[in-house]
Amino acid sequence: MRVVDHVIVGNPGGAAARSGEVFDPNTGQVQAQVPLGTEADLEKAVAAALAAQPGWAATNPQRRARVLFKFKELVEANMDSLAHLLSSEHGKVVADAKGDIQRGLEVVEFACGIPHALKGEYTQGAGSGIDVFSMRQPIGIGAGITPFNFPAMIPMWMFGVAIACGNAFILKPSERDPSVPVRLAELMAEAGLPAGVLQVVHGDKEMVDAILDHPAIGAVSFVGSSDIAHYVYRRGVAAGKRVQAMGGAKNHGIVMPDADLDQVVADLSGAAFGSAGERCMALPVVVPVGDKTADALRAKLIPAIAALKVGVSTDPDAHYGPVVNAAHKARVENWIQTGVDEGAELVVDGRGFSLQGHEQGFFIGPSLFDRVTPQMRSYQEEIFGPVLQIVRAPDFETALRLPSEHQYGNGVAIFTRNGHAAREFASRVNVGMVGINVPIPVPVAYHTFGGWKRSAFGDVNQHGMEGVRFWTKVKTVTQRWPDGSADGGNAFVIPTMG
């Protein structure tokens, strides 16, 4: 059976004491084994990173950017094979897998401009004969702990910027679909990245804790569920690290009475059910304003959902494929039953879906709930599956309060033709990323990604200039070149620039 091994410089490999199973979600069969690494594996990676990082940091930014340019070319040349590999372990359809890879590459493209992004600030004549300037220098060794739902995009969000800034990077991808992150590391090496600058270690909580506790790792980026994000943040900060920990979400789509409902339904179909709902920026809650809007929206959603095709990840006509594994399938179906038990109206039930010839695959049909209320646990928590909930709101103010008061604050969207309503909503809503007639408002790579409340822990967001700030530290230099003619002043008084 195929083994997805670590990418550690000087690691001889060999059998691991513990290993995890990598499934093909389309068939339900185990297709590979992944070693669950130990603290000793991490020590090897850290030692290699410590040896490699100073030389990489001393490499000028233009040359670092050239490696990233070459990496981008290699990923594009291998797009088809990477997308099929990703689909085979995650279950998302191949077209969606290509989008996963492309969105990561867009951050790599941003990182190719690192010579400009690393420029510091300079003040001439801050005092008599004194100049002040600042420079951005790498943290040293960074680490990324990434989730199963975007095994290409999120690793590239992290290591693209971190490596461009001159850091070494240790990636701990999800053990559920680890092959694409390994392949990306191999392509980085092929692009000319020195050995030890990017390494991949596999594992579960034991490896995560080792990363969070290791004194040589200066910064950690994490994406996953909110409870684990909070744990990662607290433990990492307690160990003296800089930490950004992105958590869960319950994104809302507000539908105003003047919205184009045909467009809304088309947007919701993709945003709620694409990638089987396994996205932190999915749109699993729709909030129509007024019963008339709600009734009309529901009437259009039912046939649109019936028209969705669930298929194997290689089916070019499928709208979405299976969820990642049996445990996640059971979790989503349990949440559907919870919604029923709480009194929500299950309009479309996706449970019991079976695909002929793939009866053991991890497939779930699309589900639609109506008359969901904010008191229900199925509304309060993240389901992370192909489930759309309708929460009716009598007016704009109620609709605004729903996402603003929810424990999560990742993304939100409003659908309207009214510019004033959209502007008011964007200004007042207590959520980190807002879409106006955009159902999945993931910012472009040169802006920044990050939610609020329990959707993110830490003060600095992902990618864009926020990413550059996270993976660097500022050094400020105050310099004077005496000409020998000035007296020293009073050396016992704190210097000022007055």
The rounded radius of gyration (Å) of the Cα atoms in the chain is 25
Q: Which residue in 30, 24, 152, 32 sits closest to 88, CA to CA? A: 24
- The active-site residue out of 280, 421, 433, 440 is 280
Q: Hey, which residues does 136 pair with through a beta bridge?
A: 474
Q: Do 452 and 469 touch, CB atoms closer than 8 A? A: no
How far, in Å, CA of 206 to CA of 164, rounded?
Answer: 29
Collapsed DSSP state (helix, strand, coil) of residue 69: helix
324-328 own/partner pairs: CB under 8 Å, 24+ apart:
324/23, 324/25, 324/90, 324/91, 324/148, 324/149, 324/176, 324/177, 324/278, 324/362, 325/23, 325/25, 325/176, 325/362, 326/23, 326/28, 326/362, 328/278, 328/362, 328/384, 328/385
β-pair type (345-348, 242-246): unpaired
Distance of CA 394 to CAs 404, 409, 439, Å? 16, 22, 21
Has 112 been annotated as catalytic?
no
d(CA 393, CA 458): 32
What is the DSSP secondary structure assignment for residue 345, as one 8-state letter? E
Whether the CB-CB separation of 108 and 76 falls below 8 Å is answered with no
Distance separating alpha carbons of residues 446 and 387, to the nearest angstrom: 31
**Residue 353: closest CA among 372, 329, 369, 331:** 329
Residue type present at position 333: E
The residues that are catalytic are 280
